[in-house]
Structure 1
Amino acid sequence: MLVVGDSTAGKTRACFEALRAQLPEHRVVAPAGGPDLLTAVEVIDRTAARCVVWLDDLESCLGPDGLEPALLTEIVRLRIPVLATMRHQQFDIFAAPETASDAGTEHARTATAGARVLRQLDPVELDRVWTPGELERAGETEDDRIADALAHHGPYGIAEYLAAGPALYQEWHRANRPGGHPRAAALIAAAVDLARTGLRPPYTLSLLASVHEPYLTAAGGALLRPEPLDTALEWATRRRHGVTSMLVPTQDPNAWHVFDYLTDHTHTPVPDTAWQTALEHAVGPHELMILGVHAHDDAPIIAESVYRRAVEAGHSGAMFNLGILLGKAGRFEEAESVYHQAAEAGHSDAMVNLGVLLAKAGRFEEAEVSFRQAIEAGQRDAMVNLGTLLGKAGRFEEAEASFRQAIEAGHSDAAYSLGVLLGKAGRFEEAESVYHQAAEAGHSDAMVNLGVLLARAGRFEEAEVSFRQAIEAGHSDAAYSLGVLLGKAGRFEEAESVYHQAAEAGHSGAMVNLGILLAEAGRFEEAEASLRQAVEAGHSDAVFNLGVLLNVVGRAEEAQTLLPASGQQQDQG
């Protein structure tokens, strides 16, 4: 079980209580890192001991030397219980979107062996803020600490308040002033930013001392009359509220972790000095890879430099991530080169993205070879990509076979893609069946297409249900399509409501249709506002419709400036 939540949400305590309630007789094995996890699994297998593996801060175990897909499969086979926690921030970094499942679209992703592991898990989300029912039950306890938290937590979560996160964060920032503790604040800032680079703690005093000076200078330097280093360290490591300190002690008296609440709530850019220090202290290609993952979106120049160093050491994940970075920058030849390098090293995601890159360049035969290579390596996404490629080439039977292979492998996108293929072939009953299958798996595009299919068959009530299901899943096109359906049925008030919903989500077609609907109801000012919103969103029909409206309300001169530049009035539906 993986519990994901914000810092101080209570993830570790929740896992502890689950362990105590469900597995009280099991021994707890808590590996310090990936290599230790490998050893632990081997020992548990050899001894058949009743053990639960405890992985607090799961990211420390992710990677080719630790928890990767093959080891996860082995853990499942051996039925070893695992309790793991991960902060939202780290989960988002490591579990980026999946590899492209459409041959014409490459989803940028930061994939590692760990990302492939996280895609196979169904995490339990632990909310920072408790529900009214949870607060009510907490009020029934006789624990004075919880009673105090209920009375004073304000906008913060109860566990967050109990862990003193907000209080320590505010105290840290208040320290950066004359008469405060500016050097301590700078030491903490250095530790926070080193953590944000992905450099693993603990951090020695000498390291923090060497990094903190630019932070102190930026805050005011000597004008703040900074305290001596030993005084600053004592203040930064002092335990507060009976809970924790800002710099957290380790077994090494000269090295510290940083309170992760401070890390997760800091959003300023990481300065180059911190990145450079992290690069100097990273050990081995895996640590370089982790730094690159953290820099990938916010500091792409640094990420490229880090990835290239890891590539030189033969890290296939770094080759793949570098390919994504170069592709996003439009450097396609370089991206192709490193994708080839990663594919030759056996990286199946790289084989998929190489195929996507080749397909975009019109090199379809080479793309097919790359997709088939990925399929042989067990990559489900490649089956979908190959099906899409074959479908575009008119090889429908082969495309169908590839999609069905992906469906059997449990890929929900494949059912959607097969539905599209079957629909184009006029096999509507079969298309409906696989759309239903994809919709049940939560595929919102399939819900929309199913609704369209049902509407065309005159099954309007079923279509409405499918569109509403897609709306609940957050699909703006569904609200637009439902608006069209309701408008044709003469249910104009309901149509207006869902058009508003789609327009607020940025759907320009909904803005146009809403404008037309309002104009037909004589609500010209509102209609104009909606059409102008669509014009700003770049909808090609909006200009013409706005011109027509202005003409109708007697503003002919304004209308004439618009009408010649546009096409035909959009017909709702």
Structure 2
Amino acid sequence: MAGGTVHHLIQTGTVHSLTLHAGHPAHAGSLPAPHDWPRADQVDPVALGVRRSRRFGNETGLPPYVRRDVDSKLDALVITADVMGGLLVVTGPALSGTSRTAWEAVRRNTPTDTRIFAPSPGTDLRALPALLRAAEDKSSYALWLDELDGHIGENGLDVNLLAQLTALHVPVIATMRDEVYDTHRFGRHPASRLLGGADTVELTSLWSEAERTRLAAADDPRLVDAVRWRGDSGVTEFLALGPELWDEWRRARRAAAHPHGHRLVRAAVDLARCGIEGDIPQSLLRGVIEVYGAVPTGKPFGEALLWAYKKRHDVTGLLVRGSTSTRWRPYGSLVADAARSPESEPVPDDVWILAIDAAKSDPGLPFTALAEAFRGILLARAERGDVDAMTALAALALDLEDVEAAMEWYGAAARLGDARAGFELGMLLAEHRSEVEAIPYLEAAAAKGLHGAASVLADLYQRRCAHWLWVAADRGEPEALSRLKGPLSPQSMIPPPGTS
């Protein structure tokens, strides 16, 4: 690629805007002129087959590259190919990052003004050597073939064409999936000789400890998310699948798609956003789904579960099975993306409440962490005068067995005119402090027509009446004793003398 010799990089299956040939494969004589090929420092890696990563903020198009353990070997091979020409193939499982790893090696080890040609699969490449020999621009050139199997054959890359390109010192950098490489490399496949003469570098989806250490040092939010949320999947799988899973899930909300499945996954994602990073009971998911509205007709839960659990790209589903057949987790990229997406709505209060209620009896759920997280959210809203947040804080305080805090928050809401809060405060005061203190709140609730308030107030008055009649009778007032025998004061409701 250097020293004024002709070098070209061609990529399979991907097309740069300057070299795109839509429709039918290109024929000999229709290849773009070498001087029109984009320079290496102008190429969009996505046009070379690198998968996009999700962007919600000011991130660049791709997250920073994290060096792989094979990079040293790959660098040496690219440097050699840059000088001598030849075929270099990076192989690996699907979504293992072969395109990004190969391209970063080219970018590191070739001149920035190298001209890159990335034809569509099936492009007729037979005229390429003649085209390069006739080029007036004596820049470096390179051929990049992403998914090489789409570029080999009678009119594509074969042993003869590779020999001509090698004579021109043009390196050919290619990628292939492991199983596709094995199919073409071994046995009597026509491409066996071609691949047999290539240098190869094998990439794996599993990252070594050293690679994970380098990943952990990155500060790009997408890489930080990969460290935290990738679960059992590989780093590159997480980064590559994230955008697809997010888009599929968001589009599933349409009535003609999978609205029930969408809600099921949303339930899991929202619960994870609350703080349940482990397995989620299926029963809790069922309950949370109802928070989002009526369940779509004709979409049973089992069907929604099968859709959500189905593996995409043989890697993961939108939901991941937990430790048992009735416990599930959302795939981590969905949680990470929901936390960062400006489109995401806050987790509804009812979801928090259901999660906390479930955690009371399920040791596998983080009750204290959920309660404290919800409390923090509610406090911020309560400080802005949000009455619903105040009543929720009161209910949460009762969950934490803090009656005084519950009365404080119900009182704050009652002072802002919330009749239900006043009623709940009255009930707590009557039970834990003083019936006398409870009466004004219960009367206010009854006066506002709150269902049940009048009956509770009547019972309280009846108990108070019985109490004072007993006091009066104890003091020798004959009328009090006769009234205690009346129908309005059943014996079961008369407390022992001296109680209040």
Answer with 1 or 2: which has the greater Rg. 2
User: With CA pairs under 8 Å and 6+ residues apart, which has the higher RCO, 1 or 2?
Assistant: 2
TM-score scaled by structure 2?
0.32
TM-score scaled by structure 1?
0.28
- In terms of fraction of residues, the more helix-rich structure is 1
